[in-house]
Amino acid sequence: MVDKVINISKMNKAEVLSALYNAAKPQGMGYLHYDPTKMSVKEAAYIIEESPTTYFDYLKGRVLKVDLNDEQLDFWAYDRDNGTAAAANALSKITGYQGVSDKEDSSTLHLNKEIQNVWD
């Protein structure tokens, strides 16, 4: 399997968490804790600061499955649960990347090249 990663080393982690959270869907038992309210960057910063870990499985009922600790964000599980290219589309405002639709080819190499171009 090819890794699906986005370089987030130059991104504000609170902006990343907020964008991913706001685009995520509630699933499974997450519906019991689902909060439809959008997350602000300020709230995301508070959550990151207060959390004992940077790995977020479910947050307020929304499935994330991401770890913000590293410079590389592995988004395979996020896309699996939220849809093809969901992470790239969620982060498009931060990266400037236009994103792709569910119907387009969203190979990892294509996404990584497009997103990496923002930093080149």
Strand-pair category, 72-74 with 62-67: unpaired
Which region, left, alpha or beta, applies to residue 116 given φ > 0 means left and ψ of -120 to 50 means alpha? alpha
Angle subtended by helix axes 13-23 and 41-50, to nearest 10: 110
Measured CA to CA, the distance from residue 49 to residue 54 in angstroms comes to 9
Q: Is the pTM of this model over 0.85?
A: no
The pLDDT confidence band at residue 53, using thresholds 50, 70 and 90, is: very high
Per-residue pLDDT reduced to its tens digit, 3-20: 688 889 999 999 999 999
Residue 17 has what pLDDT?
98
Looking at per-residue pLDDT, the higher value among 42 and 112 belongs to 42
Backbone angles phi, psi at 57, to 5 degrees: -85, -70
Residues 14 and 41: beta-carbon distance below 8 Å: yes
Residues 66 and 79: beta-carbon distance below 8 Å: no
Per-residue pLDDT reduced to its tens digit, 64-98: 999 999 899 999 999 999 999 999 999 998 877 55
Residue 113 has what pLDDT?
52
Instruction: State the amino acid at position 28 in one-letter form.
Output: G
Residue 64 has what pLDDT?
96
Measured CA to CA, the distance from residue 84 to residue 75 in angstroms comes to 10
